[in-house]
A and B are shown apart, each in its own frame.
Chain A
Amino acid sequence: MFSYTIRRVGLLIPVLLGMTFIVFMMIRAIPGNPAQLILGQQASKDAIETLTKQLGLDQPWYTQFVHYLGGLFQGDLGMSLKTRSPISDEIWPYLAATIELSLVAILIAVIIGVNAGIISAWFQNSWFDYAVMLIALIGVSMPIFWLGLMEQYFVSIKWDLLPTTGRDNIRMPVEAITHLYLIDTLMEGRFDQFIEVVKHLILPGIALGTIPMAIIARMTRSSMLEVMRSDYIRTARAKGLKMFWVVYKHSLKNAMIPVITVIGLQTGLLLGGAILTETIFGWPGIGTYIYDAIQSRDYPVIQSGILVVATLFVLINLFVDILYAAIDPRIKY
């Protein structure tokens, strides 16, 4: 298990390098001179040439790549063209907002999705099973922006239960320490703010979590149905175990392996920035950050933003792989 983890972490290095290279080349493949874009149409040739040199864009691409890579190793993600400040400084608040929302969304999705899937499989062909599968089908095919708007219309506006947009109450803004507001408010001992932050998380969390929830429920159900037909489940029942333990202990641990893959992939997708949800709920997340950078052709931000998101995705998959080995003793490397 330990050596497996080490080896799996070691494999990250080529993956991350390759990923960085691809992102780097993709940005370079976009036509047009960034210096020209920064300075505008009316800029003089000399000014453009000077800036091109300053940005190192006159160097061959491999020199630029090594330079960029060298910067990454020192935690330097480059400089935003728009704000002229280091990306490594300004990206974290956005990232933290996305991480917080994604974790809440995936938590909702896992708790409800997994349990709905289990109970559906346990009582296969019951009304509960049919209801869950119907809701899951609707959930999978529901456009997120529409769900978000409906939530806002009914829950926020009509019934006035929860706030519509933002991360906190503007009348008592959270003082950021880690930028994960749930943690910040607790660290500051501001429970009133904590409640506000939770309230702000519920609607976007549900909007973002619906599709993963539906996918997880369906995956759990089919995986459980397969496991529950197996010989060792009959053995467990022949021992006189209660059906609850047969399902939640003997079946679930086996059935979780494919489900965890799906949960990992979905979490990665959420972290990639849910631009629709973020836009509707005024959520200052990484999706918004990259989207704004694309609008203003802020290439370094696009490049580093994509890199950070991709790295998170890879890290989650690493975590999932390690989890496999923890659950299934047959996995050996």
Chain B
Amino acid sequence: MTDDGEISVVNSIDFQVNSGEVLGIVGESGCGKSVTSLSVMGLVPSPAGKVEGDILFNGENLVSASEKRMRQIRGNEIAMIFQEPMTSLNPVFTIGSQLIEALQIHKKWPKKKAQAHAVDMLKMVGLPRAEELMKEFPHQLSGGMRQRVMIAMAMICAPKLLIADEPTTALDVTIQAQILELMKKLNEETDTAIMMITHDLGVVAEMCQRVVVMYAGKVVEEADVKTIFTSPKHPYTVGLIQSVPDMRDKKERLYSIPGNVPKPGSVKAGCQFAPRCAHAFDRCISETPALESLGGSQRVRCWLYEDEKGVNIVDRTIS
């Protein structure tokens, strides 16, 4: 729990990120992915209430940490990049001044040294003319360039954990691939663990070693990336995977899971997915299942696996 940089978001959400690992967090819009990540940063918008339970970072509980301690962690040990590169940079400050800020706060570096390092970071994330970029303003950059700047900004203090909240959703497909490649490269070259929040299973397959599937604010399944795609257990995971368009199939309509994610606050008893689940039975509606291990690293929150652990409910396999 100490040296391997383990983080555990407990309560109804329970998972961990190991040091150097890329963990994918998958789910539909509105299932609590972003709130989970913001609560790790201690940045949950205040009217939305507070975080209960424990968030352990290197053995330190971030939920009970003081605001001062959280400030020392934010941007220094845990950094974050956001979905919207177009609006995530402050329009009235230069790229350079925004980049060096974290170094000045956390490392207390003098301006010159911080600027030199910022130029190196810009080069590292593959931006040309790094020196000139330092003096430019965000509106002079394209979306892809801005996201690279955001990544450079997040990585500048060499954080132990990088939370990426849908970092490629707002970008062109070609730029998406470049950004993912960059993040993969950074993950390999540094020992920064990445928590990749996405609704795109393609991104997961590309980037992650382990996957956590979330539904209505709860973790419903967790497994390594290969297991998730080859033998998904939870009906929701199965549905998600079936929703991915397959070029080899000449189906008329794309598959989609019927129904919608329940609104936060409208949570009922039983399994939250039961109303949309084709395999639901009486128990699913009355009792809430727990996240149970199926042996190995796979865990699932579903009554179907109560007795017959390890049985696959679908015949679909992905080669």
Contact = CB atoms under 8 A, between A and B. Distances in A.
Nearest to A332: B139
A171 interface: no
Nearest to A242: B71
A103 to B, nearest CB: 27
Contact of A330 (B74, B105, B139, B154): B139
Contact of A329 (B76, B84, B92, B101): B92
A142 interface: no
A236 B99 CA distance: 10
16 contacts: A234-B43, A234-B82, A238-B41, A238-B43, A238-B80, A238-B154, A239-B74, A240-B71, A240-B72, A240-B102, A241-B105, A250-B90, A250-B93, A328-B91, A330-B91, A330-B139
Contacts of A230: 87
A298 B195 CA distance: 78
A239 B102 contact: yes
Nearest to A250: B90
Interface in A240-278: 240-242, 250, 253-254
A320 to B, nearest CB: 16
Nearest to B84: A231
A16 B281 CA distance: 81
A39 interface: no
Contact of B91 (A232, A237, A241, A242): A232
B261 interface: no
Interface string A201-237: 0000000000000000000000000000011101111
A239 B154 CA distance: 8
Contact of A240 (B76, B84, B93, B139): B76
Interface string B123-137: 000000000000001
Contacts of B106: 240
Contacts of A327: 92
Interface string A310-333: 000000000000000001111000
Interface string B59-103: 000000000000111111001101010011111110000000110
Contacts of A242: 71, 105
Interface in B38-55: 41, 43
Contacts of B88: 231-232, 234-235
Given A238-B41, A239-B75, A239-B105, A329 B91 contact: yes
A232 B87 CA distance: 6
B153 interface: yes
A241 B101 CA distance: 8
Nearest to A239: B75
A169 B225 CA distance: 85
Contacts of A330: 91, 137, 139
B241 interface: no
Contacts of B87: 230-232
A329 B141 CA distance: 13
B150 interface: yes
A231 B80 CA distance: 12
A77 B128 CA distance: 60
Contacts of B91: 232, 254, 328-330
